[in-house]
Structure 1
Amino acid sequence: MRLTRIVTLSSTLLLGALLAVVGAAPAQAGTAAAPVDYVALGDSYSSGVGAGDYDSASGDCKRSNRAYPKLWAASNAPSSFAFTACSGARTNDVTANQLGPLNSGTDLVSVTVGGNDAGFSDVMMTCVLQSESACINRVNQAKAYVDATLPGRLDSVYGAIRAKAPAARVVVLGYPRFYKLGGGCLLGLSENERTAINGAADHLNTAVAKRAADHGYTFGSVVPAFTGHEICSSAPWLHSVNWTNIGDSYHPTAAGQSGGYLPVFRSNA
């Protein structure tokens, strides 16, 4: 009789253990990360101009293996990854040339766009080559464009993304301030010019953030991440003007992509 009770008790305990294991399996499976289909859109700040190690197949788009989309994909192993960001892209270039990989199954999208529409490159060249007054006038023209024209262009891009990828989480990333004011630069632009350029970056970011929010998208500011790493700081993550490789000028270095853009994208993805 006692042996029978022992056998019965042992069987009950074994059955309970088996049920616990079987019951735990669905819970563990439920916590596994869902597969992610990720598409990276945008301009040179997303393609990785300035970071080096470019994919030769990307040609003039200069997509870098050190750009934040590639770094995120390498560490997160999405089920699919399409990298269509391209150097020099404006809003109409994104809608015309970059949205092909988007579809109803796309889960995650990143994008930087708007700086080229606002004439960023021309602003910087004006400030480098011409007088302080010409620089500030050109900055003000760019800000006027951001106020009057850019919102509609951003709406076109954001609306097109939603139409093609209705379920995607869209992360819109902004632009850094370029200069540490009162920093270590002894030559080059005046402090007034640097202040005006930083103000224009803030102005652009405010407009981009507003349009992103109105479309239900997440805006990630990279200004805090780059603080202390601007041009004229002791550890810059941005190229200053580079006459031997002019395209790198005022773009993030590899450290700016990995230390600036990547953490911001990661925290919002």
Structure 2
Amino acid sequence: MRVRTRIGTLIAALPMVAATLATPATAAPRADFKWVALGDAYTAGLIDATGPEVIEGTGRDGCGRTAGSYPEVLRPRFADRFELVNVSCAGATVANVMSEWQEPQGRNLPFFGVFDPDHPFGAVPPQIEAVTEDVDLVTVGVGGNTLGFIEFMYACVVIGQWAAPNEDAPCSQHFTTGWDGVPTVDDRLSALGEEYGEMLRTIRAMAPTATVIAVGYPAIIPLDPRGCDHGLTPEGIRDFATVTYPDLAWLRTDVLQRLNQLIADQAALNGSLYVDVQAITEGHDVCQPESRRWVEGIADSVGRWSLVRPNAAAHAAVADVIEALLLAGES
């Protein structure tokens, strides 16, 4: 797929940029291209394992954008060419990108006895308001909250406490039967596909010359989840606590893989590029040793609540792929 003309111009200019960086400058360089980053916590960063929070303007807005998130990792690399507008926000849904105001929660986790001193935060506008006609690049990483992945994870932890960890799959049964009016995964994916496609088309309409990159979700769960620690021990909480092994297998294949395939399909249908974060992060899931772990579990390696989100290593890998994608593009 051909990257749009203005991005191609940027790529052609990179050797000149490198030469400029090697010589003293008499004036601050001007950013010729505009990049808008949209997304949820998997874009924003949020957790401690992605570095300190980036605070702009008058103070924290509760969205949890951190220095180790992939937009902020890329900001200095193209600082003289791109003006980055990062409006990603932890907890965002497709609706929060498109049309609905969001009430960010920051790091407020009352269920776990963690209270953000700045909570409550003011509502933030739909992220798409940052996308204007002059934008050259839009990255968007969203969909998991609309599907309900965190809802699934919470439910699997709670229900799994009373299940046989090697045999039972109470969570998958809960979300696939439609019992008690609970929307099934199939129903949710069907609705999400329509919303996601409409979002990409709206971004294209608002920024017709922009390159749009849809960013998927990481490999959170290993191919064989039986290697994960189970239970409410420190080791178990660093993985998936009381989620049973059959439910972990279901979450990997029937939820996360299908979510990523949906994003890839919608990107292809709507003239967007796709970053396959699952492929990038395979073998670096929650249950790997700390040296190879790119996604934190319920808690991170030092016991801070992470609630299954990528750490700085995962964001750095995604940043490298996005950079390579731009460098490989054609004008």
TM over 0.5: yes
Letter in 2 for 1:197: L
User: Which residue among 43, 46, 57 is the counterpart of 2:40?
Assistant: 43
Q: Deviations over 1:99-152 (max 9, x none)?
A: 222222211110111100001111000111113433113453553134320111
Letter in 2 for 1:52: G
Q: Distance in 1 between matches of 2:42 and 2:156?
A: 21
Higher helix proportion: 1
Deviation at 1:262, TM superposition (A): 1.3
SS at match of 1:224: helix
Deviation at 1:241, TM superposition (A): 0.7
* Bigger radius of gyration: 1
Q: Deviations over 1:2-39 (max 9, x none)?
A: xxxxxxxxxxxxxxxxxxxxxxxxxx989746932111
Quick one: structure 1 residues 75 and 147, their matched pair in 2 at CA, closer, same or farther if it must change by over 3 Å?
Answer: same
* Higher mean C-alpha displacement, 159-168 vs 185-194: 185-194
Q: Distance in 2 between matches of 1:137 and 1:233?
A: 27
Instruction: Tell me, yes or no, if the aligned pair for 2:169 and 2:246 is still in contact at 8 Å.
Output: no
Letter in 2 for 1:176: P
Instruction: Tell me, yes or no, if the aligned pair for 1:42 and 1:85 is still in contact at 8 Å.
Output: yes
2:52 is aligned to: 53
* Higher mean C-alpha displacement, 32-41 vs 42-51: 32-41
Q: Distance in 2 between matches of 1:193 and 1:30?
A: 47
Quick one: structure 1 residues 138 and 254, their matched pair in 2 at CA, closer, same or farther if it must change by over 3 Å?
Answer: farther
Quick one: structure 1 residues 182 and 245, their matched pair in 2 at CA, closer, same or farther if it must change by over 3 Å?
Answer: closer
1:92 is aligned to: 95
| Alignment TM-score, normalising by the size of structure 2 | 0.67
1:228 to 2:225 alignment: no
Q: Distance in 2 between matches of 1:29 and 1:211?
A: 31
Deviation at 1:253, TM superposition (A): 0.8
1:70 is aligned to: 72
Aligned positions of 1:151-162 closer than 5 A:
151-162=193-204
Aligned positions of 1:1-269 closer than 5 A:
32=16, 35-50=32-47, 51-56=50-55, 57-77=59-79, 78-96=81-99, 97-131=126-160, 132-140=168-176, 143-180=185-222, 181-182=224-225, 184-187=227-230, 188=241, 189-199=243-253, 200-234=255-289, 235-242=292-299, 245-246=304-305, 248-259=306-317, 261-269=318-326
Q: Distance in 2 between matches of 1:219 and 1:211?
A: 9
Quick one: structure 1 residues 177 and 138, their matched pair in 2 at CA, closer, same or farther if it must change by over 3 Å?
Answer: farther
Deviation at 1:182, TM superposition (A): 4.9
| Alignment TM-score, normalising by the size of structure 1 | 0.81
Deviation at 1:237, TM superposition (A): 0.9
Matched-pair identity in %: 26
Instruction: Tell me, yes or no, if the aligned pair for 1:171 and 1:268 is still in contact at 8 Å.
Output: no
Instruction: Tell me, yes or no, if the aligned pair for 1:173 and 1:265 is still in contact at 8 Å.
Output: no
SS at match of 1:99: helix
Q: Distance in 1 between matches of 2:293 and 2:13?
A: 44
SS at match of 1:110: strand
- In structure 2, stretches of 5+ residues that fail to align are 1-11, 18-30, 100-125, 161-167, 177-182, 231-240, 327-331
SS at match of 2:169: helix
Deviation at 1:191, TM superposition (A): 2.2
* Higher mean C-alpha displacement, 111-120 vs 234-243: 234-243
Q: Deviations over 1:235-267 (max 9, x none)?
A: 211111129754x211001112113x2122223
* Higher mean C-alpha displacement, 121-130 vs 97-106: 97-106
Letter in 1 for 2:87: T
Deviation at 1:74, TM superposition (A): 1.2
Name the count of aligned residue pairs. Answer: 240
